[in-house]
Amino acid sequence: QKVRMLGGLVTDKVEDCSHLVAIDGKRTIELMKALALGKNVVLPSWVNSSYAQKQFADTFDFFLRDDEAEKMHCCNFKLSVLRARKGKVFEDCEFYITPSVEPSPEEVKSVIELAGGLVHPHPPSPAKMIECIEWDKPYILIATECDMPILKYLTDAGCTVYNTEFVFESVMRQEVEPSAVFTVSPSACQPAPLRLPPMGQSTAAPVSGPGSASSTPSRRTSTGYSATPPPGPVPLTPTQGGGGQAEFASPLTPRIKAN
C-alpha cells in the first residue's frame, strides 16, 4: 500500500521488478533470480523510509545484509548485484539438466537462463562435447545420483557432472567455481551386475547386488576444470514459492518485489 501511494505498481514476476524487498538472505528462487538480473535487493526499511520522505529513497543504505547467509554462501549481496550488472555469470555457457534434479528442472532452468546460460532439452552427443572442448566452450552437466546412468557414456569419457548446488552457488556469488564439492560421482547409481547361480542349483531369477564402483578416471569438463567427486550432492535449501510475496513495478518508477 505504501509503495502504491508513492506511485509504484505491483507485479508478480521478479523479471519485471526493479527492487526485491527481502527480510533476510534466505536462498530462494526469487532471490537468485533477482541477483542474476542485477536487481536492487533491499530491506523492508527502504519502503518505510521512502514513505516517510514521500519519495523513493536511495537504495545504498538499505541494501540487503545478512551476515549469516552471506557467510554460509561465501558471498556479498551488494557485490553480487554489481557483478551481475557487468555481465551474466553463465554467459556463453551451455547446460543439460537431468529430469530428477531438485527443486525442479523448470526452476533450475529459469535461474540458469536469467543468468545468461543456454539449457538444452536433450543430453549432448559425444561429438557436441568434443566440439565444446576444442573450442573451449563450457558445456555443464547438472544431474542427481540416480540420473547418472543417463550420462554414463559421458562420464566414461571423462566428463564431470555437477549437482544443482553448482548452479545456485554460482548465482549467489556471481562467479563460476567448478569445485569438487559440487560434483556427482560417476559411479553413483550404476546398474547392478548380473549374478548367475552356481552350476547344479535352480536357475531362479538372477540376484541383483549392489553396484560395484568403477575406477574414476581423471575428468575434465569443457570449462577445462578437473575435480575429484565427493560422496554425494550437498543438501539443497528448500525454496519459497511466490504465493506469499508481493512485487511492485512501474515503467517510470522503481519496481519492487516484497519478500
| Boundaries of every domain in the chain | 2-86+240-258, 88-189+216-237
Per-residue confidence (pLDDT) for residue 231, from 0 to 100: 44
Mean pLDDT of 215-241: 40
Same fold, 2-86+240-258 and 88-189+216-237: yes
Per-residue confidence (pLDDT) for residue 14, from 0 to 100: 94
Which CATH superfamily, name and number, covers 88-189+216-237?
BRCT domain (3.40.50.10190)
Crossing angle for the helix pair 105-114 and 164-173, nearest 10 degrees?
A: 30
Among residues 119, 115, 116, which one has the least CA distance to residue 142?
A: 119
Per-residue confidence (pLDDT) for residue 198, from 0 to 100: 58
Report angle CA 126, 132, 134 to the nearest 5 degrees.
100
Percent of the chain topping pLDDT 70? 72
What does pLDDT average to over the chain? 80
Per-residue confidence (pLDDT) for residue 118, from 0 to 100: 98
The pTM (predicted TM-score) of the whole model is 0.72
Burial 124-142 (b: 16+ CB within 10 A, else e): beeebbeebbeeeebbbbb
CATH of domain 2-86+240-258: 3.40.50.10190
